[in-house]
């Protein structure tokens, strides 16, 4: 949604073309044209993007992605698209051109008047859900705003300015057409009037098409900044109010649970005594897992840190012991990409004779290349993020059931998923193409594995309910945090490590809330974000898909009994 909002190196502004030689000698110097003042400048828009992020309306993960993209684009622009010389010919479209005037009027109607009418009508009708459902990409505005500001100041060439918003969307859905298809087919996912839902979504699509297809053409052909299109972007931001997730509260307003995206783990577990509880936390040597282990230990829980690298696990354990001297923490080896390792871990845990109240399935990998198959020859992300946890849960259930029965305390299983579960392959789970390299996309595969986490939780919750077992199963989006998920991408992982600490949200709040907080008691088969109930994709609610995934995974592990 790039909005050619300032002069670029490969366009010519009206009046900027070189005068003909015959006119130069006789023409008297002309005074400079009056400065065109605008109520909306790059500084205002860039500030808006930062404020939106700080307020909690935009995730820090998305903000970090755009920052990384800008850094990347800056270097690419200097190499792949060096600035070209200004065009000497007059622009095709001047500011007084009728075609351009019609375009500006059309843009104002689509981007300003209709969205305002849409919002006002929805507010008066009380249909906030319909407004929320208009489109899920609030931050698309901010990604473009940041890039436009820098491209204007840095004189980037036009292809680079166009690329960032497209790149931002490709991170989510890989092609604009696929995004449009998925958005228009999601139905009344968030509720609200169907007419208002589709009207708002159509406005979003119209704005997207207008800005990408027409505006760049006009800017390139006409050399005009199209300031009118920039003026309506704040209104467009309101139309694009993001997905209906409880974390999207203005200025980090607290949700129904009393907590928000800015709540810390110690806040959400304050006053809770976990003494006598035993928890297994996978991926506990770093990131979410390490902080989850620390906070659970702080509350008196005996934590078993299930780690792929045992030496890293011992280091994480020592770090916890320094901060929580009385902590009960042990590290055990577990490689979730290997079914043999999962079975070995479960067998060793059983031999210890420990109870098990909490199972936090947290470990994961992201965006691995296809050549990295698991030790069981399964696509790495699906194997590690889903199959390994599925098998582990299956093997630990007997102990959890026994513990719940004897202790009269509710057992809890927490699957750490991601909002990226909404951006799986179009069919959701590619059962017959898990190992199909030709159609593999690393980010779609990651979304597939996270969708599997949600489906697993939902189906497990249903089966445990049927058994009348006092064990709940839920999934959650952990938020944007600095982890080593990108350990298979050294450059990206380095950027996350260097910059993530400055832009990422608190890491240690979501799994602990689900594991310990009394408000979650009895809640099962739910999806949470920022300690509040949140919406999943339609695919995550598909019972048939959940059943098929369960059967498919059982065949993979060749052992499955709840």
Among all residues, which ones are annotated catalytic? 440
Q: Which of 290, 451, 261, 419 is nearest to 362 (CA)?
A: 290
Nearest in space to 277 (alpha carbons), one of 310, 315, 303: 303
489-495's contacts with Cβ under 8 Å and 24+ in sequence apart are 489/367, 492/68, 495/68, 495/71
Place of tokens 């600035």: 83
- Pick from 451, 328, 429, 434: nearest CA to 380: 434
Reported as half-sphere exposure (CB side, CA atoms, 13 A), residue 418 has a value of 26
Taking the CA atoms of 52, 58, 59 and 64 in sequence, report the sign of the dihedral they define. Answer: negative
CA 449 to the chain's CA centroid: 14
d(CA 530, CA 532): 6
- The DSSP bridge partners found for residue 533 are 528
Rg of the chain over Cα atoms, rounded to whole angstroms, equals: 27
182: number of Cβ within 10 Å: 17
Q: What is the 3-state secondary structure (H, E, C) of 59-111?
A: CHHHHHHHHHHHHHHHHHHHHCCCCCCCCCCCCCCCCCCHHHHHHHHHHHHHH
The answer to whether the beta carbons of residues 144 and 1 sit under 8 Å apart is: yes
CA distances from 244 to 6, 65, 559 (A): 34, 21, 38
Question: DSSP string of 278-319?
Answer: EEEEETTTSHHHHHHHHHHHHTT-EEEEEESSHHHHHHHHHH
CA atoms of 54 and 252, how far apart (whole Å): 9
Query: Strand ranges (DSSP E) for 205-349?
Result: 278-282, 302-307, 329-333
Which residues are 473's β-sheet partners?
Answer: 413
CA 454 to chain centre: 15
Round to whole Å and give the CA distance between 404 and 473.
14
Q: Determine the Cα–Cα distance for residues 516 and 357; give it in Å rounded to an integer.
A: 10
Token digits of residue 356: 């098990």
The helix (run of H) or strand (run of E) holding residue 529 is strand 527-529
> Terminal CA-to-CA distance of the chain, rounded, Å?
49
Q: Is residue 435 classed as helix, strand or coil in its secondary structure? A: coil
């Amino acid at each position: 949604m790039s909005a050619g909002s300032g002069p670029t190196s490969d366009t010519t502004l009206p009046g900027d073309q070189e005068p003909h030689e015959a006119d130069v000698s006789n023409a008297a110097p002309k005074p400079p044209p009056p400065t065109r003042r605008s109520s909306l400048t790059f500084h205002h828009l860039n500030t808006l993007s930062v404020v939106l992020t700080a307020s909690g309306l935009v995730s820090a993960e998305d903000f970090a992605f755009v920052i990384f993209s800008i850094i990347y684009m800056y270097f690419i622009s200097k190499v792949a698209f060096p600035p070209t010389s200004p065009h000497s010919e007059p622009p095709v479209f001047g500011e007084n051109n009728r075609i351009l005037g019609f375009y500006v009027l059309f843009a104002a109607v689509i981007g300003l008047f209709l969205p305002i009418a849409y919002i006002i009508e929805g507010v008066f009708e009380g249909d906030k859900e319909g407004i929320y459902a208009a489109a899920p990409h609030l931050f698309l505005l901010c990604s473009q705003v940041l890039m436009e500001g820098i491209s204007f100041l840095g004189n980037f060439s036009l292809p680079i300015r166009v690329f960032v918003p497209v790149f931002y969307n490709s991170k989510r859905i890989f092609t604009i057409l696929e995004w449009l298809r998925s958005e228009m087919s999601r139905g009344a996912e968030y509720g609200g009037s169907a007419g208002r839902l589709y009207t708002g979504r159509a406005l979003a699509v119209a704005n997207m098409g207008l800005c990408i297809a027409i505006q760049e053409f006009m800017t390139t052909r006409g050399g005009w900044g199209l300031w009118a299109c920039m003026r309506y972007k704040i209104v467009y931001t309101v139309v694009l109010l993001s997905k209906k997730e409880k974390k999207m509260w203005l200025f980090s307003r607290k949700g129904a649970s009393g907590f928000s995206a800015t709540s810390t783990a110690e806040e959400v577990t304050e006053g809770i005594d976990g003494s006598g509880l035993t928890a297994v936390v996978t991926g506990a040597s770093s990131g979410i897992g390490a902080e989850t282990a620390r906070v659970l230990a702080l509350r008196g829980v005996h934590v078993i840190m299930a780690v792929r690298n045992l030496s890293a696990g011992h280091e994480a354990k020592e770090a916890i012991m320094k901060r929580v001297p009385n902590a009960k923490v042990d590290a055990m080896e577990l490689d979730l990409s290997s079914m043999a390792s999962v079975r070995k871990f479960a067998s060793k845990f059983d031999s210890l004779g420990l109870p098990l109240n909490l199972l936090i399935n947290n470990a994961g990998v992201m965006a691995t290349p296809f050549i990295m198959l698991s030790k069981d020859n399964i696509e790495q992300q699906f194997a590690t993020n889903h199959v390994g946890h599925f098998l582990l849960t299956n093997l630990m259930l007997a102990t959890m059931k026994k513990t719940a029965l004897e202790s009269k305390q509710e057992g809890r299983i927490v699957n750490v998923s991601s909002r990226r579960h909404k951006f799986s392959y179009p069919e959701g789970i590619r059962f017959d193409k898990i190992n199909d390299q030709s159609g593999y996309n690393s980010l779609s595969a990651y979304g597939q594995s996270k969708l599997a986490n949600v489906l697993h939780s939902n189906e497990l919750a249903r089966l445990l309910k049927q058994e009348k077992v006092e064990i709940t199963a839920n999934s959650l989006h952990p938020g944007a945090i600095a982890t080593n998920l990108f350990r298979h991408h050294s450059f990206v992982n380095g950027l996350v490590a260097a910059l993530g600490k400055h832009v990422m949200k608190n890491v240690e709040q979501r799994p602990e809330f689900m594991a310990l907080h009394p408000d979650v008691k009895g809640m099962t088969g739910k999806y949470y974000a920022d300690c509040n109930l949140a919406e999943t994709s339609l695919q995550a609610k598909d019972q048939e898909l959940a059943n098929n995934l369960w059967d498919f995974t059982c065949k993979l592990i060749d052992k499955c009994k709840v």
